[in-house]
Structures are given as C-alpha cells and as structure tokens.
A and B are shown apart, each in its own frame.
Chain A
C-alpha cells in the first residue's frame, strides 16, 4: 500500500520527462507550465484542506505576496530575485503564523472567515498601493537569474517547474506517511482522540497552514518571473476559490488528486474557449456534475471503483 503510492511519482516523472518532446507548440508548453505551478500550490493546499481538514479561502493572497515580493523588491529596491523570493516566503510564513495562531484556538468556521478576509485585504492592498505595485494594471517583473544564468525561455522554466513539482509530490508523499503526517490526519479524523494521545493540535494546524502558505508564496514568485508581469488578479478572491476547487475536484486527501485537479481546471477554460460567451456556464455545469457524481473528487472515487473491480 505504502510503496504503491510512490509508483504514481514515477509515472509523474516519466510524463514530465517526455512532455516537452511531444508537445506540438509553445502554447501547450505554456499551458503545462501553468498546470505544474498550480499543481504545486494545490498539493500544499490539499495538505491543509484534505489531510488536516482545515480551510483557506485566501490562499491567492499568499500567492500575491510572493509574486509581488518578486516584482517590487528587485524593481524598486534592486534586490536580487532569489533574495526577494525568500523574503516573500518568509513574510508570508510570518503573516500566516500570526493570523493562524489565534484563529486555531477557536472552534468552528472562523478560519474560513479569517482567511477570506485576509485574502481580500491583501488583494485590495495590491490594487491600491499603485506607487509600488502599479495598481490594477500590474507591473513588469525583472528576469530571474542565478550565477549569471538567466531563465529566459519557456524550456528553462519548464524544467525548473518540472523538478519543483516532482520534489513536491515526493515530499508530500513522505510527509503523509510520517509521524507528522499521521498527526495531521488524526486531528482531522478525531480531534479529541489526537489530543489525548498527545498531539498539540493548535501547533500542527498552524504548521501546516504556514507550510501551505509558504508553498503558495514561492509559486507566486515563480509565476511572476515566468510570466514576467504581475496583476492583482493573481491575489484575488476568485483565484483562491479556483485553487480550493482544484483540491475538491481532484480529490481531498489525495496527492495525485491534487495534480489531476490542477491539470483539469487549468486546461478546462482553454478547452471551453470554443463556447465563447457560454464558457463560464459550461465550466460551472461541469463542476456541479463532478460534485454530484464524484463527491469525493475524481481520483479517490476512481481509485475506489477500480479497487472494487479487482
């Protein structure tokens, strides 16, 4: 069972190795890069939502912090992009911890409200601080380079993102099947039972919240450098919801479900472009149908179906 979980990782790596050679043009390469970036964010978010049973409705805000750290700090202050990326991640981690600690001491849906509020505040701040952020129009992001080597072409970015994704899948699988991961899943399964075996529930919830926020921030920085431009839309509420939807559609508490959710929901708007004005309606309908017939998400439902067939 445990070893079988890692088989999926080899398949993911194999696909990532082959993809750039079979993709017909740069449009698809761009699409795959965005899928992979989303997949890493969704992996982190799924640890929080699917495994630990918590919620964040403001994750795009953390993404925004990372993205704008990578845009603003090098542009206005001449910071090195790597330093800016780390600064963004650290700031995100500190902010997430500051917000999470008091919230997790409360019971109920306060976390949903708090993260919703936080995300919206961040998004408004990015829109309004126009002298730094370019306001609603956004701003360009300097190129990313280390040791004199500049990541300029999509091919470069593809390999960076492919490695990040593979490592994230591996690390997530490791984490889930470890004392830390078991404690996370246990507090989801029964909070009182996990407390009496000694799990410091608040600490674990805060840790995974901070971890997933930092993941989002780092990938926000990557997105910013890859696209070369940031806009406040990156941080807005709808993007947060989109990320949560990827988790739910792909499958809560499923590593591979996160990948499937991210791939599908990144591709779907492109595939539906032919419906012109109706694409949002079709998009919504597909989500509804998925939730009615596959309430546990694609991957867990299919896995259960196949498991029965054996």
Chain B
C-alpha cells in the first residue's frame, strides 16, 4: 500500500482553482518530485497535504488514514515534516534552538516542570542538544552550532530548515524548493543532502525548479500545470511526455 494517497484533491480560493482534481500516490521510501511552471500549484499542494490549508474537495490518506483537513500539529504527530519555499526560520532564536524546536513533540512540554528546572527534563534537553548538533553536522552546518539564526547566510538557513524537519524524526518530508536561490555549488550540496535523507529511509517529496537535481534524485515525478495534473511517471517518461514539453517550452515546440 502506498504511504500517501491523494485522490481528487481540489482547493478553491474564491474563483481561483489553485489545485484541481489532482490524484497521485507515493510509495514509502522513494523520492517523489512535484514540478511545474510558477503558479502551477506546487506549494499549494504542499500546504494542503501538510495541513496549512483545508481542501475544498478530495481526500488525502496517510497509511490509509484520512488526514485531509487535519491541523499541522496533528500531522506532525503522524510523522509529516516540511520545509518552506520562503524561509520560515525563527530569527529570534539560535540556530541550534531552531533545530531543537523540531523535536517539540518528542519532549516533555510541561510548563511547571520547565519553570522549576526538573532534572529529568534538563537531562533530556541536554541530550536533545547533542542530537541537534548531530543533525547540524548531518546537513553540513556544524560551524554554525553557536550562531544566532539571524546571523546566518541564506544558503545555511535553507539547510537549517531541513535539519529542523529531520529533528521531528519524520516518515515523510516535504521539501519546498530547497535549492531556490542557491549558487551551483550549494545546489550540489543540497542535492547530496536530499539523497542522504532519502537513503536514511525517509520518504522525500520534493518541489524544485532545478531540473538537473529533480531528474537526478527522483524516483517518480508529478507535473502540475494551472493546478491540474499534467503527467506522472519516472523522469524518462515525464521528459518524453508531449504535454509536459508543451507546458515548459510552449505549445509549438
């Protein structure tokens, strides 16, 4: 059975049909990419699946359980993690604290125990700090271990988001343009990082404009255009699809 099953998913914002009747399914353990021109509805699709938006129609199933319209924190509990196209880093915190927030649901969040500095809570927090350091090393940010988030360069913040998502110990991670705005060298680093994440057993769903990276990494690709599913298949299949070529290069290509 597929890990994620999306059937007839639609969302309308007033008259705008941002996502229309999109169906696909993602098997566990693969890298699944969503591509399409700007405004095709890729980020909206992510927002629907991760609970930021509620779908107008359709169904989303995670491991057979219907999750459409669930709140983001309920989805987080079920192992759904994501990063954002426009950075969503907490600039009022240090880099490592941003990663530690990712482990929120695995910790004792009791207010009283926290205020009274219960030893057990402190111990787990110290252990988490080590774990977060390990994750920062994993994404290649060890030199920023003591940095404030607002003092870090853009490329590093993109990877900090990935580290935060990994701190959730997710089953599936949605990466929304992890290479956007990065230089070629950084793009290759992110390419390797996504591969490492996938190899660690986490299902990766990727939105990305860098076609080389998408073709390199993806087991399957979904192509969206104007909110509709244009094609779906392996990289080679998608590349040959005449509709996809038309959408990307213009109808007469």
Determine if A198 and B90 form an interchain contact, defined as CB atoms under 8 angstroms apart: no
Contact B71 A192 (CB under 8 A): no
B84 touches A198 (CB 8 A): no
| A164-B40 Cα distance, complex, nearest whole Å | 58
The distance in angstroms between the C-alpha atoms of A243 and B105, with both chains bound, is 34
Contact of A174 with B116 at beta-carbon distance under 8 Å, contacts A182-B104, A196-B50 already known: yes
Kindly list chain B residues whose C-beta atoms are within 8 Å of the C-beta of A189. Answer: 89-93, 149
Interface of A is mostly: helix
CA gap between A261 and B232 in the complex, in Å: 60
Q: Are B50 and A171 in contact (CB under 8 A)?
A: no
Asked if B93 contacts A198 (CB within 8 A), the reply is: no
A185: Cβ under 8 A from any B Cβ: yes
Report the bound CA distance from A183 to B101 in whole Å. 6
Chain A hits for B75, CB < 8 A: 196
From A170, A194, A198, B77 is in contact (CB under 8 Å) with A198
- Distance of A207 Cα from B105 Cα, bound (Å): 17
Asked if B121 lies at the interface with its beta carbon under 8 angstroms from chain A, I say yes
Give A19-38 as 1s and 0s: 1 = Cβ < 8 Å from B's Cβ atoms: 00000000000000000000
* Docked complex: B65-91 residues within 8 A CB-CB of A: 71-73, 75-77, 80-82, 84, 88-91
B107 at the A interface (CB under 8 A) = yes
Contact A174 B117 (CB under 8 A): yes
Tell me whether A178 and B125 are in contact in the complex, defined as CB-CB below 8 angstroms, given that A189-B93, A196-B82 are known contacts: yes
Q: Are B116 and A171 in contact (CB under 8 A)?
A: yes
B73 touches A192 (CB 8 A): no
The answer to whether B72 and A179 touch across the interface, beta carbons within 8 angstroms, is no
**Are A199 and B104 in contact (CB-based, < 8 A)?**
yes
With beta carbons under 8 angstroms apart, the residue of A188, A196, A199 that contacts B92 is A188
Query: In the complex the two chains form, is B93's CB within 8 Å of A185's CB?
Result: yes
B206 — which chain A residues lie within 8 A by C-beta?
Answer: none
A171-B116, A178-B125, A183-B101 are known contacts. Are A197 and B93 too (CB-CB below 8 A)? no
Confirm or deny: B63 has a beta carbon within 8 angstroms of a beta carbon on chain A: no
Given contacts A171-B115, A178-B125, A179-B104, contact A253 B92 (CB under 8 A): yes
Nearest A-chain residue to B78, judged by Cβ: A198
Once the chains bind, are A196 and B72 in contact (CB under 8 Å)? yes
- B164 CB–A CB distance under 8 Å: yes
CA distance A172 to B115 in the complex (A): 7
Is B108 an interface residue, CB under 8 A from the partner?
yes
Task: Say if the beta carbon of A129 comes within 8 Å of chain B.
Answer: no
Residues of A within 8 A of B92 (CB): 185, 188-189, 253
Residue of A nearest to B128 (CB): A179
Given contacts A188-B90, A189-B90, A189-B92, contact A197 B114 (CB under 8 A): no
CB neighbours (8 Å) of A238 from chain B are: none
A14 to chain B, nearest CB (A): 20
- Give Cα distance in the complex from A177 to B115, angstroms: 9
Instruction: Evaluate whether A179 and B52 lie within 8 angstroms (CB atoms) in the complex, with A174-B115, A189-B89, A190-B88 already known.
Output: no
- Chain A residues whose CB sits within 8 angstroms of the CB of B76 once the complex forms: 196-198
Specify which chain A residues have a CB less than 8 angstroms from the CB of B98 in the assembled complex. Answer: 186
Task: Return the chain B residue nearest A183 by Cβ.
Answer: B104
Of all chain B residues, the one with the shortest Cβ separation from A199 is: B104
List residues of A (249-264) whose CB comes within 8 Å of B's CBs: 253
List A contacts of B88 (CB < 8 A): 190, 192-193
Mask, B103-124, CB within 8 Å of A = 1, is: 0110111110011110001000
Query: In the complex, A169 Cα to B57 Cα: how many Å?
Result: 51
10 extra A-B contacts, CB within 8 A, seeds A170-B117, A192-B84: A174-B117, A177-B125, A179-B125, A186-B98, A189-B90, A190-B90, A194-B101, A197-B101, A197-B168, A211-B111
State A190–B164 Cα separation when bound (angstroms): 13
Known: A174-B114, A174-B117. A179 touches B109 (CB 8 A): yes
B90 touches A180 (CB 8 A): no
Residues of A within 8 A of B115 (CB): 171-172, 174-175, 178
Q: Is A181 an interface residue (CB 8 A)?
A: yes
CB-based contact B73/A199 at 8 Å: yes
Bound together, the chains give a CA A197 to CA B101 distance in angstroms of: 7
Q: What 1/0 flags go to A85-107 for Cβ under 8 Å of B? A: 00000000000000000000000
